[in-house]
Homo-oligomer: A and B are copies of this chain.
């Protein structure tokens, strides 16, 4: 039987959910059923959830409860309940932070996943507009405005990474697919040579590329192992020639690719 896990938040609960998932991943032999309860922004809602948890405790199946609720009264209400363990993220770290900073906390402060800084938020929306418009090499004339231009063969991870970089980092991320006619030469297309310092290359193991492409167009030349091997080989030759930083996306996620780009590659330029 799986353990029920309540994620309580006065806002989206994205952070609390992330922490809970990371912590629970340490217990791979157990089953957990996560239930997200976001937007618990008044005592009435908190009280209703507390009652729900209470009745689970009474029935002998206490749930795990993670909370990122900031409001002190709500936290007190939750903390007073007995028979279940509250993992209170603010409670866990705030005392230490107060001590370190030598100052009191203002528990009414802004929310992490809200609009927050309006200028920054509209930057993210604009960045997404840019990424949508400059996806897949469709429009290349505004590369001067790009923060980063991802290049690579079809299905190497360019599009999802661009969308992630725009939505999360507010970066104007364009992407350009290297197709046969680009790969048959030993020079990058002129439009890319003009922006060498913005290029980041994505590569992928040919076998993995073959598997991914087979799901799209089984039995086609596009998805054949030979074609995948040739494309990756040609692309990597170009990347080396122009000394473009390369990320192998074979075994890593979009979040990991994006983090490597922002912390390892772009650190000097942004």
Q: How many copies does the complex hold?
A: 2
Given the interface pairs A13-B259, A27-B97, A28-B110, the reply to whether A167 lies near B132 with Cβ below 8 Å is: no
Chain B residues with CB under 8 Å of A129's CB are 159
**Nearest chain B CB to A262's CB is how many angstroms away?**
8
Residue of B nearest to A89 (CB): B19
User: 0/1 per residue, A155-192, Cβ < 8 Å to B?
Assistant: 00001100110010000000000000000000000000
Residue A113 interfacial (CB < 8 Å):
yes
Q: Are A112 and B18 in contact (CB under 8 A)?
A: yes
Chain B residues with CB under 8 Å of A30's CB are 101, 103
Residue of B nearest to A86 (CB): B96
Q: Are A22 and B15 in contact (CB under 8 A)?
A: yes
Residue A217 interfacial (CB < 8 Å):
no
Q: Are B103 and A96 in contact (CB under 8 A)?
A: no
Residue of B nearest to A30 (CB): B101
**Nearest chain B CB to A263's CB is how many angstroms away?**
5
Tell me how many residues of A have a C-beta within 8 Å of chain B. 72
Residue A68 interfacial (CB < 8 Å):
yes
Chain B residues with CB under 8 Å of A13's CB are 259
Q: Are A12 and B92 in contact (CB under 8 A)?
A: no
Given the interface pairs A26-B97, A27-B101, the reply to whether A112 lies near B167 with Cβ below 8 Å is: no
Chain B residues with CB under 8 Å of A167's CB are 160, 163-164, 167, 254
**Nearest chain B CB to A243's CB is how many angstroms away?**
22
Chain B residues with CB under 8 Å of A106's CB are 26-29
Binding site for B on A (CB under 8 A): 3, 11-15, 18-19, 21-30, 36-39, 64, 68, 70, 85, 87, 89-90, 92-94, 96-97, 99-101, 103, 105-107, 109-116, 121-122, 124-125, 128-129, 132, 135, 159-160, 163-164, 167, 215, 251-256, 259-260, 263
Can you add 7 more A-B contacts, CB < 8 Å, to A115-B253, A124-B160? A19-B19, A25-B111, A26-B90, A29-B106, A87-B97, A92-B93, A115-B252
